[in-house]
Amino acid sequence: VLPVPRHGGYLGVMPAYSAADDALTTKLVTFYEHLKDSSVPSHQATVLLFDPSNGTLKAVLDGSVITAKRTAAVSAIATKLLMPAFAEVLCILGAGVQAYSHYDIFTELFTFKEVRIWNRTQEKAVKFASSVSGPVRVCSSAQEAVTGADVIVTVTMATTPILFGDWVKPGAHINAVGASRPDWRELDDELMKNSVLFVDSRDAALTESGDVILSGAEIFAELGEVLKGTKPALPEKTTVFKSLGMAVEDTVAAKFVYDAWSAGN
Calculate the CA 124 to chain-centre distance: 19
Please tell me the distance from the alpha carbon of residue 51 to that of residue 205, in angstroms, as a whole number. Answer: 30
By the 8 A CB rule, do 259 and 28 touch? no
CATH number of residue 39's parent domain: 3.30.1780.10
User: Given phi > 0 = left and psi -120 to 50 = alpha, else beta, which region is 229?
Assistant: left
Q: Are residues 241 and 167 in the same domain?
A: yes
pLDDT at 173: 98
Would you state the pLDDT for residue 265?
A: 84
Q: In which residue ranges of the chain is pLDDT below 50?
A: none
Please check whether residues 38 and 105 belong to one and the same domain: no
Q: What is the model's pLDDT at position 34?
A: 67
Beta strands in 122-188 (DSSP E): 137-138, 151-154, 173-176
Same domain flag for 105 and 57: no
Q: Quick one: pLDDT at residue 111?
A: 97
What is the extent of the structural domain holding 230?
68-246
Count of structural domains, the chain: 2
Regarding whether 185 and 61 lie in a shared domain, the answer is no
Same domain, 122 and 217: yes
**pLDDT score recorded for residue 139:** 98
What pLDDT score was predicted for residue 35? 67
Output the CA angle 41-101-76, nearest 5 degrees.
135
Dihedral angle over CA of 217, 33, 177, 214, nearest 10? 0
38 with 142, same domain: the answer is no
State whether 132 and 81 are in the same domain: yes
Q: Judge if 103 and 160 occupy the same domain.
A: yes
Query: How open is the CA angle 20-102-31, to the nearest 5 degrees?
Result: 80
Measured distance CA(47)–CA(26) in Å, rounded: 6
77-89 pLDDT, tens digit each: 999 999 999 999 9
